Amino acid sequence: MNIDKINEIKEKAIAEIEAVVKEVTKPKGRWKPTNGESYYFIMTNGKTCSGIAWDVENSPVDIYRYQHGNVFNTRKIADRYNEIDIKIREIASRDPVDWSDLTQSKYFIYMTVDSGGIEQSWPTICFSLNEICSSNPDFKDILCAEIGEENLIWFFKMQRGIIRE
């Protein structure tokens, strides 16, 4: 075996080890800007806003946005998240929930931690503010058909801080 072949094998092995180290040491959880770093967020009117400098020491608004999953490192990610959120709410609004009607069945979707799949259930009294409910028993199936289960899983993982992009 000549020295060039040995160096080629060595370089390939080093690159593979570096890739594994990079994956293992990659930060987990929701992306969080450093002090002074710009980020994107979705305003209440549904528009993506950018250029905000993170100030964890002086801005409770920054902390609030982060705690509620409204801090993104790119416009593309913020826009994708927002588009899915808008579509979920639009589908839910087709069959609105009447909270004063105790006889009406109400459904919400969630992602299971163990399987990572999308499930549907009836809301309990103590449901999260982020849960979007519908009176349609086929709510989950409609969402999966119109948005795609992969997109819903991505949305929930981003919302819960399970993935970082």
Look up the pTM and report it: 0.72
Q: 145 and 109 in contact (C-beta within 8 Å)?
A: no
The 3-class SS string of 118-145 reads: EEEECCCCCCCCCCCEECCCCHHHHHHH
Confidence of residue 27 (pLDDT cuts 50, 70, 90): low
Inside any domain, residue 122: yes
Q: What pLDDT score does 128 carry?
A: 47
Q: What pLDDT score does 144 carry?
A: 92
Inside any domain, residue 7: no
Inside any domain, residue 144: yes
Inside any domain, residue 4: no
- Total domain count for the chain? 1
Closest alpha carbon to 79 in 114, 46, 55, 115: 46
Q: What pLDDT score does 145 carry?
A: 96
Residue pLDDT, tens place only, 97-132: 888 888 888 888 877 766 677 777 765 443 444 567
Inside any domain, residue 19: no
Residue pLDDT, tens place only, 141-164: 999 999 999 999 898 888 877 777
Q: Which residues of 85-111 are buried (b: 16+ CB within 10 A; e: fewer)?
A: bebbeebbeebebeeeeeeeebbbbbb
Residue 21 has pLDDT above 70, yes or no: no
For residues 165 and 158, what is the distance between their CA atoms, to the nearest angstrom? 8
40 forms bridges with which residues in the sheet?
72
By 3-state DSSP, what share of the chain in percent is helix, strand and coil, each rounded to 5?
45, 15, 40
Q: What pLDDT score does 108 carry?
A: 82
Residue 48, domain extent: 28-160
Q: What pLDDT score does 127 carry?
A: 45
At 109, is the secondary structure helix, strand, or coil? strand
Q: What pLDDT score does 94 carry?
A: 95
